[in-house]
Amino acid sequence: MAREGLVTAAIVAAAVAAIGLVRAPAAEAEQRVKATTDVPLLPPPEQTVRLSMGYRAALADLLWSHVLVAQGLRVSERRRFDTLTMLLDTINELDPTFRDPYLFADALITFQASETPHEEVVKAREIMERGVKHLPLDGELWLVLGQFVAFIAPAGYLKDDAEKQRWRIEGAHYLARAAELGGGNASVSWQALGGANILGRAGQREAQIRFLQRTLAVTDDEEMQQRLRAQLEQLRGQEAADGYMRRSARFNEQWRHDLPFVGKTTLLVLGPPYDAAYCSGDDHRQEARCATTWKTWAQRVDEKP
């Protein structure tokens, strides 16, 4: 027994000595060597669905937990999460109605240790649009999608001015949908109202008016109702003034082109010029230049400015 105890003690001492010899170099190597990229460990999303053996929602939850933890680790390590978009695609494929990945996709993808490349900004929008496709009645999803497309991406991630403007207008239409679906949630409707101003600045006044009208029709918030009514009254007044100016400019152009040598009153009595050959078929009969009275002409000018 004494001999066995000595052997055990010798083995323990040798182990302690070996650990002491390799510990410092191993620690130094660990401090020096850093992971710089992520290696995809999963097959493509369609194949991962088959590998789930029917436990699609459970595997989606597991992968989502991994995404949240790994994102925090990548931020602390100050490196990109290279497989993030692939994991989000896989989660969406496993459980298309799992809401949280759509809701946080833009924040996860753009909140990285380095500058977000353009293709990942587009990918974030693609994932969020996938969300509203599978959950079309979720006003909050439409809201975060609209805010990202209309405000966040153009302000911080897009470089091309034409692309920025296009995204702002498309985002405003997403916000309009959010406002429609957020009737019972005043917070969603209030946050979505910024989209109406984007449409107004882009010259899409009719779309802006429709935005406000639909929001007014669904909201129960009295303060919002008052604000929407005031904006609609102002826009309708501007629309009427713009319509008058548009008709006046077209009338003056018609006057100079047709009978510039007669007075305005005479032209009003004579009526608009009518090209019988041009207007004889059905193809052009509804155009302003084929109207037989100034009243009809003005209506058609408003319809097709």
Q: pLDDT tens digits for the chain (305 residues)?
A: 566 767 677 777 777 777 777 776 766 655 555 555 666 678 888 999 998 898 999 999 999 999 999 888 888 888 888 888 999 999 999 999 999 999 999 989 988 767 888 999 999 999 999 999 999 999 899 999 999 999 999 988 999 999 999 999 999 999 988 888 876 677 777 888 888 888 888 777 788 888 888 787 777 778 888 888 888 888 777 666 566 566 667 777 777 777 777 776 676 776 777 667 777 766 666 676 677 777 777 766 766 54
Q: Is the residue at 105 inside a domain?
A: yes
Q: How many domains does the chain have?
A: 1
Q: Is the residue at 231 inside a domain?
A: no
Residue 185: CB atoms within 10 Å: 17
pLDDT of residue 248: 67
pLDDT of residue 170: 93
Q: Is the residue at 117 inside a domain?
A: yes
Give the CA angle between residues 197, 148, 69 to the nearest 5°.
Answer: 155
pLDDT of residue 2: 67
Residue 121: CB atoms within 10 Å: 21
Q: Is the residue at 113 inside a domain?
A: yes
Q: pTM of the full predicted structure?
A: 0.66
Q: Which domain holds residue 103?
A: 43-136
Residue 161 structure tokens: 């001015």
Q: Is the residue at 125 inside a domain?
A: yes
Amino acid present at 22: V
Q: What is the DSSP string of the chain?
A: -HHHHHHHHHHHHHHHHHHHHHHHHHHHHHHH----S----S--HHHHHHHTTT-HHHHHHHHHHHHHHHHHHHHHHT---TTHHHHHHHHHHH-TT-HHHHHHHHHHHH-SSSPPPHHHHHHHHHHHHHHHHHSTT-HHHHHHHHHIIIIIHHHHT---HHHHHHHHHHHHHHHHHHHHHTTT-HHHHHHHTHHHHHHHHTT-HHHHHHHHHHHHHH---HHHHHHHHHHHHHHHHHHHHHHHHHHHHHHHHHHHHH-TTS-HHHHHHH-S---TTTTSSSSSTTSGGG-SSHHHHHHHHHH--
Q: Is the residue at 64 inside a domain?
A: yes
Distance, in Å, from the CA atom of 50 to the CA atom of 68, rounded to the nearest integer, reads: 24
CB 105 within 8 A of CB 71: no
Q: Is the residue at 168 inside a domain?
A: no
C-alpha closest to that of 105 among 134, 77, 76, 190? 134
Distance, in Å, from the CA atom of 197 to the CA atom of 208, rounded to the nearest integer, reads: 7
Give the CA angle between residues 154, 186, 188 to the nearest 5°.
Answer: 25
Give the CA angle between residues 249, 252, 257 to the nearest 5°.
Answer: 125
CB 274 within 8 A of CB 268: no
Distance, in Å, from the CA atom of 105 to the CA atom of 221, rounded to the nearest integer, reads: 30
Q: Is the residue at 21 inside a domain?
A: no
User: In sequence order, what are the residues at sequence separation of 6 or more whose Cβ sits closer than 8 angstroms to the Cβ of residue 277?
Assistant: none
